[in-house]
Amino acid sequence: MNPGLLDLILFSEKRKDFLLLLNEGPKDIEKVLEGLQVPRTALLPQIKKLKEEDLVIHEEGIYRLSTIGEIVVEKMQPLLDTLSIFEKNEKFWADRKLVPIPPHLIKRICELRNYRLIEPDLSRTFDLNPEFVKNLSSSSYVHMFCSYFHPHFPTFFLNLARKDIEVSLILSEAVYLRLVEDFKEEGKELLDMENSSLYVLEKKGMETPALVAVADKIISLGLFNENGRFDRQYVISFEPQAIKWGEELFEYYRDMSREITIK
């Protein structure tokens, strides 16, 4: 795509929205105006530019994408979705370490669409995030990778398992050692339960997320900032595509982990 064509599409909300609307199917001008909620006089000059670049065809009162337009819009949508992810919380993403997300998933980060950023409640500094607890506690399964330690985690994990929730945990070595040294009883009971499994990340020295939690209807993602600290800001999404993305991230780390069993 040449720079002129890129500018034509991305530097006008009207042109961009018009192309995306036509991607749903051919439409007459009335349907277009109804869908975009813009004045006819404001839209027609923008449509003229798209027709001049052979992106749009107008025949018998119906607008549709040309073959070139279909190809361009197909490639344009993932870019726009990706930009919307970062634009929604620019400061957050600019300060996050994204290296822990493997290339094949960072290319699909747009699948986190419609996410929300959960920030810590200063009045609950030492508590787990209530929304995080609520959503995981009402699930049938919880798949979680964790490389930072919270003193409430052992009891939280155990309570999930006691509720017959399938719990699969991947811990960094440091978090695992903290669990078995300071929370021996909780760790032993967790390992004894048939509906729980525990893994330890074997690959050393690699950058990891702070937390990845995936359940029936939610994904929660915590990333360390550029200073290597976790400030308890979480990205959460309830979209099926985002949950699938989170499952793949969890499986990526599980493939590099060893399962802990009772001897």
Q: Is the pLDDT of residue 1 over 50?
A: no
pLDDT at 3: 45
Query: What average pLDDT does the segment 139-158 reach?
Result: 92
Are the C-beta atoms of 206 and 257 separated by less than 8 Å?
Answer: no
Query: What average pLDDT does the segment 221-229 reach?
Result: 94
Q: Is the pLDDT of residue 117 over 50?
A: yes
Banded model confidence at residue 99, pLDDT cuts 50, 70, 90: very high
Digit-coded pLDDT (tens) for 180-213: 889 988 888 888 999 999 999 998 889 999 999 9
Q: Give the CATH number of domain 91-260.
A: 3.30.870.10
Digit-coded pLDDT (tens) for 64-96: 999 999 988 888 888 888 888 998 999 999 999
Q: Where are the domains of the chain?
A: 3-81, 91-260
CATH value of 3-81 in 3.40.50.2000, 1.10.10.10, 1.10.8.60, 2.70.98.50: 1.10.10.10
C-alpha distances (whole Å) from 47 to each of 12, 59, 249 are 11, 13, 42
Are the C-beta atoms of 200 and 173 separated by less than 8 Å?
Answer: yes
250 dihedral zone (left: phi>0; alpha: psi -120 to 50; beta): alpha
Digit-coded pLDDT (tens) for 3-44: 467 677 777 888 989 999 999 999 999 999 999 999 999 999
Handedness of CA 163, 164, 167, 173 (dihedral sign): positive
pLDDT at 262: 67
Helix (H) or strand (E) holding 136: helix 130-137
